[in-house]
Structure 1
């Protein structure tokens, strides 16, 4: 099962160092998403991450920073950004992802490698953001090739359930960042569950 990590919504002291440690521990992809960032602060965090890991960063904002950081070849299009797209992608050098919040939108995400969907479980990072899925949920048959990645309330104990539901991957946020001192240990547990 594929594993994705989404950054916390707010910058924090020591963030780049922890991101580097997570990459060293095997983090495959970091989705860099911040609430109300400015471009220089966002770029500053990227600069502080070891350049050998830049190819594993997906930008949720400021896609134009790929000119400053040419190793970054992953772009994420949140739902509102995706809905404004008027023509298909021509540049094939980027891996593109998106997000959906309604399964009826699943077959409308053409041109994306994968899409996050959630909350699959009650969110760990957003109190009150609860799942609407039934306990016997199964991923529906898709008409396109965008892999469906589970988001929301994902931790190491829920990976097996996600596999049984038919998700192709898991995206984690609160399970790592809610307790930063345990982030590496929690990541290792999730990574092990995804690979078993």
Structure 2
């Protein structure tokens, strides 16, 4: 099972140090997700991460960065969104509808299926699917090693994602909630959590 880390949606001071350390620890795939941000901030972050790790980074938006920094690929959020001219490399997409999974997989190396697990205390981020619906999708071959679970991923539900047939999990909030971006400098708790995820997916 693959472990994908998605960046926090906003930039912060210690970010390049934490991401570089995660790569040092064996992070295999990072999704650079900074919705609505200016290109220059993503460029700066990439310039602070050692070049040897750039081929493990997939970029959302600002697709020109893929070629400029020799990144692994780009991520598209809609089925209708076309791959920009001149872009080579891995293509991934986000899907929210089980009925679209088959079509999306045809045009992607892998697909994020959103809202798999709900987020405690957040009514806007509840699961979109019942366990039965996900089991049926796996039985039909819709969920397979090229479909990654996104949304509400924690250590407690990685095993369930694996049992449902997902090929990977996308971790975001659970990881970044372990670090105070305004006052923090010590990210040992975040690293410890990352290592626990590595063990689980291994």
TM more than 0.5 = yes
CA 1:84–1:65: 2 relative to 1, 3 Å: same
Provide the alpha-carbon RMSD of the alignment. Answer: 2.4
Within the alignment, does 1:83 sit opposite 2:80 as a pair? yes
Q: Which runs of 4+ in 1 moved over 2 A?
A: 88-93, 123-128, 139-146
Calculate the TM-score normalised by the size of structure 2. Answer: 0.85
Within the alignment, does 1:97 sit opposite 2:92 as a pair? yes
1:67 offset after TM fit, Å?
Answer: 3.2
Within the alignment, does 1:112 sit opposite 2:108 as a pair? yes
Give me the whole-angstrom Cα distance separating, in 2, the residues matched to 1:62 and 1:121.
Answer: 29
CA 1:115–1:15: 2 relative to 1, 3 Å: same
CA 1:108–1:61: 2 relative to 1, 3 Å: same
- 1:127-166 to 2 correspondences below 5 Å: 128-136=124-132, 137-138=134-135, 139-140=137-138, 141-142=140-141, 147-166=146-165
Deviation per residue, 1:108-167 (Å, 9 max, x gap): 112201100121111379663100322343143347988110011112221111111111
Within the alignment, does 1:67 sit opposite 2:74 as a pair? no
- 1:25-64 to 2 correspondences below 5 Å: 25-64=25-64
Gaps of 5+ in 2: 180-186
Deviation per residue, 1:18-37 (Å, 9 max, x gap): 00011111111000011211
Match of 1:24 in 2: 24
Gaps of 5+ in 1: none
Match of 1:185 in 2: 192
* Aligned residue pairs, count: 190
